[in-house]
Amino acid sequence: MKSIRILCIGVILFFTSVSALAQAMTLSVDATDAARNMIHSKLAIPVRPGPLTLFYPKWIPGEHSPTGPINDLVGLKLSADGKPIAWRRDDIEMFAFHCDIPQGVNVLDVTFDDLSQPESTASAKLARIKWNRLLVYVQGMSSDAVSVKASLKLPAGWHFASALPITSERNGELQFKEVSLTQLVDSPAIIGANFRKFPLSSTGTMHEMDTMADSTAALDLKPETLTGLKSMVQEAYALFGARHYRNYQFLVTLSDHGGSEGLEHHESSEDGVGEKAFSEELELLDFAELMGHEYAHSWNGKYRRPAGLATPDFDQPMKGELLWVYEGLTQYLGKVLPARSGLWSAEDFREAMAAVAAEMENQTGRQWRPLVDTAIDVQWSYPSPRAWMNYRRRVDYYDEGSLIWLDADVLIRTRSNGKLSLDDFCKRFHGGQDTAPMVKPYTFDDVVNTLNEVTPYDWRSFLNTRVNEVAPHAPLAGITNGGWKLVYTDKPNTEVRIADHLRKSVDLSYSVGMLLKEDGSVMDVNPELAAFKAGIAPGMKIISVNGRTWSIDVVHEAVASSRTSMKPIEFVVENGSFQETYKVNYHGGERYPHLERDNTKPDVLSNVIKSRAR
Ligand SMILES: [Zn+2]
């Protein structure tokens, strides 16, 4: 019933909109209150008399879900020629607002405020301007067919960066070139008090990193990081063989309060990291991966997009079944590119792959749901709770997807005696001629066929068994056939240290089978390992370990000494207002994943991360 209703509206409004198209919708954004998470929006929308439905963008490209922040739209007022027009929200579709346009009216004025959640898009010194949060459009029109002329007023003294072309700039007010609604939403801006621009290419296509930070000190970039980022631009071109953007801008915000972000666009990416991302060793490694990931998306995700995710507007639901390509291959390239560019060492790359391999292999949820189900379920797997995540499985199409693509890469390299690689797939699939931004949708068959063009093999079965079937073990053949073994030692894994640092956690997943917060709260347990078997569950909080008050050092010491102790580890745990003692029968010491060289096989893994551009 619902789809028929929307289809009808779409057809009717399409005809309404053809003449409306002659005129662009204008969007005036006042961001002078951005530091207090409030942005004012004013629209003038060409309309015709009669019933009209306005739509607030719901399905956001790159988020693959109905995540438009409708709760943040407040103060909505419609008027025409200064006279108010009443609106009513749709009873079923909460993102749609119905109204009646009086005779003689051809422009509808709309005003509202966007109130973002604290710590989500802005800090006191910077903000991300996401146009989709700041507009409504006539429902039923394709976003390619809607023309928008936008302007933006900045807080006093703040700077601006975006891939959106500017026509004029005066007194902190920017006027932009008229573009399609598609391009507008795909061209967010960052604004802030402290700004620095880093050119990443000197000739030809312009590449730059634009950075806004909470402090000027945060903008100090190590020369070797800048060199690595410039190399990454070259490595990506060498990998794909073509570009599908006119210019490219990394829009980086450095703040511990402005919200973390990673969102891809054709000609830019939003990269929200902590204030110390350029200086702190672990955060810098994580930053390099984020940059590689979001950049690779310009090809894999924006230019080539699964047919189910290539929707014509922000209203049609997206289908996520091919996210193991969209995100999985990007997750793989997001590790390969920093390693080829020198932003990561070969050891950093191996530590990252080891962490992914161990996490996926130990995911107990893999025993009940195939990988594809985590992608189909994307509307719910993204916001899935942290508690019991090991049993639920969350967005595994990212990390397990990356293992599948490593597997395919090593297979192509081995079968072609090192002459071909996954780079050849990427060149065929994502390369071709240099073009301006465009979308070329694909299906599962297109992926299989292109793999077959590179190296004939039963790729359909290869992918089906790894993606569409319940697989008790993670696809680790890329590692083992690549000449390495997944092993566990008491030495902490770099990637695990990064994750612990960023989420303030203590990861004991591969020893007692628990992921803890720094205060002893249990975030997750592995139902097959000792802590769960002793009775511990997410939501509980550890008070003491072996008779000593909880601390990170105390728990590490207890796990480490379990190897030589005959007694179980004793945890006093708080569950609501009750306390109980749990005896965890574990004697394996500290365990963290690493890759160890297998000298019986050639080292293909090291070839994967060899520079292509140098
Ligand atoms: Zn991604």
DSSP secondary structure, 288-331, as one string? HHHHHHHHHTTTBTTTEEEGGG--SSSSSPP--TTHHHHTHHHH
Q: How many percent of the chain have pLDDT more than 70?
A: 96
CA–CA separation, 498 and 576 (whole Å): 30
The 10s digit of each residue's pLDDT in 289-324 is: 999 999 999 999 999 999 999 999 999 999 999 999
Report DSSP state, residue 492.
P
pLDDT average, residue stretch 533-548: 98
CA of 327 from ligand 1 middle (Å) equals 5
- List C-alpha distances in Å: 518 to 60, 524, 571, 573, 578: 34, 13, 15, 15, 21
The tens digit of pLDDT for each residue in 355-412 reads: 999 999 999 999 999 999 999 999 998 889 999 999 999 999 999 999 999 999 999 9
Rounded distance from Cα 77 to ligand 1 centre (Å): 36
Cα of 582 from ligand 1 centre, angstroms: 40
Distance 513 CA to ligand 1 centre (A): 28
- Residues 464-513: tens digit of each pLDDT: 999 999 999 999 999 999 999 999 999 999 999 999 999 999 999 999 99
For 79-99, how does the pLDDT look when each residue is reduced to its tens digit (9 = 90+)?
999 999 999 999 999 999 999
Q: Measured in angstroms, how far is the CA atom of residue 297 from the centroid of ligand 1?
A: 7
Distance, CA 264 to ligand 1 centroid (Å)? Answer: 7
Distance between Cα 299 and ligand 1 center (Å) = 11
CA 224 to ligand 1 centroid distance, Å: 25
* pLDDT tier for residue 433 given thresholds of 50, 70 and 90: very high
Three-state SS for 154-172 is CCCCCEEEECCCEEEEECC
| Lowest mean pLDDT, pick from 48-62, 172-186, 216-230, 375-389 | 375-389
| Strand runs labelled E in 139-218 | 147-153, 159-162, 166-170, 173-176, 179-180, 189-192, 194-199, 207-213
The pLDDT value recorded for residue 9 is 31
Question: What is the Å distance from ligand 1's center to 265 Cα?
Answer: 10
Confidence label for 22 from pLDDT (cuts 50, 70 and 90): low
- The CA distances from residue 566 to 464, 542, 584, 587, in Å, are 46, 22, 12, 8
The model's confidence at residue 14, banded by pLDDT at 50, 70 and 90, is very low
Distance 295 CA to ligand 1 centre (A): 9
Rounded to the nearest 10 degrees, the angle between the axes of helix 494-503 and helix 281-296 is 100
Where b means 16+ CB within 10 Å and e means fewer, 249-263 reads bbbbbbbeebbbbbb
Residues around ion ligand 1, judged by CB within 5 A, are 327, 330
**Other residues' Cβ atoms within 10 Å of the Cβ of residue 446:** 17
User: Are residues 52 and 17 in contact, defined by beta-carbon separation less than 8 angstroms?
Assistant: no
Percent of the chain with pLDDT over 90: 95
Residue 375 alpha carbon to ligand 1 centre in Å: 13
Nearest CA to 549 out of 523, 575, 572, 583 is that of 572
Distance from residue 63's CA to the centre of ligand 1 (Å): 9
Residue 6 pLDDT exceeds 70: no
Question: Residue 329 has what pLDDT?
Answer: 98
User: Is residue 109 a contact partner of residue 130, using CB atoms and an 8 Å limit?
Assistant: no
Place of tokens 């979308």: 439
Determine the distance separating the centroid of ligand 1 and the alpha carbon of 334, expressed in angstroms: 9
Centre of ligand 1 to C-alpha 342, Å, is 21
What is the rounded distance in angstroms from the CA atom of residue 496 to the CA atom of residue 592?
Answer: 8
pLDDT of residue 23: 85
Give the number of residues written for the chain.
Answer: 614
- Write down the pLDDT at residue 2: 34
Q: Looking at residue 538, what DSSP letter applies?
A: T
- Residue 496 has which token pair? 């695990």
Strand partners, 581: 572
What is the mean pLDDT of the segment spanning 323-352? 98
Distance between CA 456 and CA 416 in Å, rounded?
Answer: 10
Flag whether pLDDT at 5 surpasses 80. no
Q: What mean pLDDT do residues 251-257 have? A: 98
Distance 301 CA to ligand 1 centre (A): 8
Distance of CA 296 from the midpoint of ligand 1 (Å): 9
Read out DSSP for 117-141? PTTTSB-SSEEEE-GGGG--EETT-
> From ligand 1's centre to the CA of 587, what distance in Å?
39
Q: How far apart are CA 407 and CA 424, in angstroms?
A: 15
Confidence of residue 4 (pLDDT cuts 50, 70, 90): very low
pLDDT of residue 561: 98
- The reported pLDDT for the residue numbered 19 is 40
Mean pLDDT of the chain: 95
CA 329 to ligand 1 centroid distance, Å: 9
381 C-alpha vs ligand 1 centroid, how far in Å?
14
Q: From the CA of 6, how far away is ligand 1's center (Å)?
A: 30
Cα(293) to centroid of ligand 1, in Å? 6
Residue 395 C-alpha to ligand 1 middle, in angstroms?
11
Single-letter code of the amino acid located at 312: P
Which has the higher per-residue pLDDT, 90 or 23?
A: 90
In whole angstroms, give the CA distance from residue 323 to residue 337: 20
Tell me how far the alpha carbon of residue 331 lies from the centroid of ligand 1, in angstroms: 7
- Given a contact cutoff of 8 angstroms between Cβ atoms, the answer to whether 87 and 78 are in contact is yes
pLDDT at 449: 98
- What integer is the mean pLDDT of 554-581? 98
- What is the phi-psi region of residue 520: left when phi exceeds 0, alpha when psi lies from -120 to 50, beta otherwise? left
Around Cβ 453, how many Cβ atoms within 10 Å?
12
Helix, strand, coil proportions of the chain in percent (round to 5)? 35, 25, 40
C-alpha of 127 from chain center: 18
The Å distance, Cα 199 to ligand 1 centre, comes to: 24
Q: Identify the CA nearest to 93 among candidates 184, 180, 9.
A: 9
Distance 20 CA to ligand 1 centre (A): 36
CA of 55 to the centre of ligand 1 (A): 26
Helices and strands, counts by H and E, the chain: 19, 32
Query: How far does residue 83's CA lie from ligand 1's centre (Å)?
Result: 45
Distance 328 CA to ligand 1 centre (A): 8
pLDDT of residue 20: 42
Gap between the Cα atoms of 215 and 194, Å rounded = 6
Q: How far apart are CA 589 and CA 393, in angstroms?
A: 26
- Please give the distance, rounded to the nearest whole angstrom, from the Cα atom of residue 41 to the centre of ligand 1: 29
Cα(421) to centroid of ligand 1, in Å? Answer: 22
For tokens 């390299």, what's the residue?
413
Å from CA of 263 to ligand 1 middle:
7
Q: In the predicted model, is pLDDT for residue 8 greater than 60?
A: no
pLDDT band at 614 (very low <50, low <70, confident <90, very high): confident
Whether 3 shows a pLDDT value over 50: the answer reads: no
Q: Which of 10-19, 25-34, 127-136, 516-525 has the lowest mean pLDDT?
A: 10-19
Q: How many Cα atoms are found within 13 Å in the side-chain-facing hemisphere of 581?
A: 8
Distance 62 CA to ligand 1 centre (A): 7
| 593 touches 585 (CB < 8 A) | no
Averaged pLDDT for residues 117-146: 96
Question: How far apart are the CA of 330 and the centre of ligand 1, in A?
Answer: 6
Measured in Å, residue 486 CA sits from the centre of ligand 1 at: 25
pLDDT at 203: 87
Query: Which is it for strands 207-213 and 248-254: parallel, antiparallel or unpaired?
Result: parallel
What is the per-residue DSSP string for 340-359?
HHTSS-HHHHHHHHHHHHHH
Between the CA of 405 and the centroid of ligand 1 the distance, in Å, is: 15
pTM, whole model, 2 decimals?
Answer: 0.95
Chain position carrying tokens 């980086």: 252
- In angstroms, what is the span from residue 602 Cα to ligand 1's centroid? 31
Q: What is the distance in A from the centroid of ligand 1 to the CA of 333?
A: 10
